[in-house]
Structure 1
Amino acid sequence: MIRITCQYIPFKNDAAFLQIKQTEVSEIPLYIVFFYIHVYSAIFVLLAGFTQFSSGLLKRKPAIHRNIGKFYVFIVLFFSAPSGLFIGVFANGGLYSKISFVMLSILWFYFTLQGFLCIKNKNITLHKAYMLRSFALTFSAITLRFWKVILVYLFHPSPMDVYQIIAWVGWIPNLLIIEYYLYNQSKK
């Protein structure tokens, strides 16, 4: 993800993925702003999110866990999810892709907000469940690219077909895995 993000330094209107988004870049003034907010914030939420599932960090340094968690929540709620929603409206792959990316952004915002509200209300169990869901959606930045490579390598579909598929498989399996994990944890 760092390597992908570095493609967009310095700011350019035609770097990497933006080469196929020139209509949006030229016709929608805020598109490039929201795109760059989304790209740059993604690296921070991924790194912050990975640290949050360390039981050692939580037990030995709870203040660090709290501060990184607040940073994660702030970035997702005020930058990553809103910018994802905006650029999701203009996603490649037609209506199905747009619906998927918009749903992803809304759920990401919702799960993150609920996780934050649960910890404010001292409900650790629900906090953990919602933050796992939130990070499953954060992690879709990685799984989406993973599935894209697999699909292109195995099946050679057209680019728009790839988009329609990865728009959904980039995040739904992540969420299903977390729901299965949470279900099993509730049985213990």
Structure 2
Amino acid sequence: MTATAAPVRVRRKVGFWWFALSAAAIAVFAALPYLTSSLPSLAEADNGLAANYAHRPATVQFALYAHIVGAALALLLSPLQFAARLRERAPRLHRVVGRTVFGAIMVGGAAGLVLAPFSSAGIAGTLGFGALAVLWVGSAVTALRAIRGGDVEAHRQWMVRTFALTYAAVTLRLWLPVLIVAQVAAAGVDGQTAFDRAYLVVPFLAWVPNLLVAHWWLRRR
């Protein structure tokens, strides 16, 4: 191994484990409350998302659970698709995981599109989360079509974009506290007001920078 290759390899390992562990943590953290408690009980416990959907029709509530399960599964498994050793040593497992991730994105994305009009962020949430759902599904479908057509490089590039959109579940939860603390510190507003204002921005902030970084990284390669 050359002197320049060693730092690159270390950075790749650090990056992989950061994405894998942060994705796993959010997948479990975000989904577990909804899989262990009912919407009414979560709403009574002052869970803002649950409170927004506790009184919705059964079809919307079903879409909420489908989105939570699909998105959590996609987020949990997606980093495995970028493990080079797994692709090389267990290609069949790589394909099985890939199909599972694709199915989870189809479910989570379709359900997210159903939920977008009911977002507590209003029109910003409808447009931001709706666009995310459409691009998420479209990117995954494009990645699948590429590999079926034998274009491995295009498949990898579209999988990077797809993961950038999947990772929005993490960046949303990273941006929210940053925006809330910044508002409280700078403007002295109360926590709830700061949250409401921040939630008007994160429907786009959660995924647009991710796509820009993915695009920059792909061009840099």
TM-score by length of 2: 0.78
- Give the Cα–Cα distance (whole angstroms) in 1 for the partners of residues 99 and 35 of structure 2: 27
Post-superposition CA distance 1:13-72 (Å, at most 9, x none): 232344430xx4424331110101111222211121010011111111111111100111
2:14 aligned partner:
none
SS for the counterpart of 2:36 is coil
- In structure 1, stretches of 5+ residues that fail to align are none
1:96-111 aligned at under 5 Å gives the runs 96-111=124-139
| 1:40 maps onto 2:76 in alignment | no
| 1:171 maps onto 2:204 in alignment | no
Identity of aligned residues (%): 24
1:76 aligned partner:
105
1:13 aligned partner:
39
2:30 aligned partner:
4
| 1:50 maps onto 2:76 in alignment | no
1:145 aligned partner:
173
- Give the Cα–Cα distance (whole angstroms) in 2 for the partners of residues 44 and 59 of structure 1: 23
- Give the Cα–Cα distance (whole angstroms) in 2 for the partners of residues 18 and 167 of structure 1: 14
- Give the Cα–Cα distance (whole angstroms) in 2 for the partners of residues 160 and 99 of structure 1: 17
The structure with more radius of gyration: 2
TM-score by length of 1: 0.91
- Give the Cα–Cα distance (whole angstroms) in 2 for the partners of residues 76 and 118 of structure 1: 17
Stretch deviating more after TM superposition (85-94 or 110-119) = 85-94
- Give the Cα–Cα distance (whole angstroms) in 2 for the partners of residues 3 and 158 of structure 1: 22
Q: Does the CA contact (< 8 Å) of 1:52 and 1:65 recur in 2?
A: yes
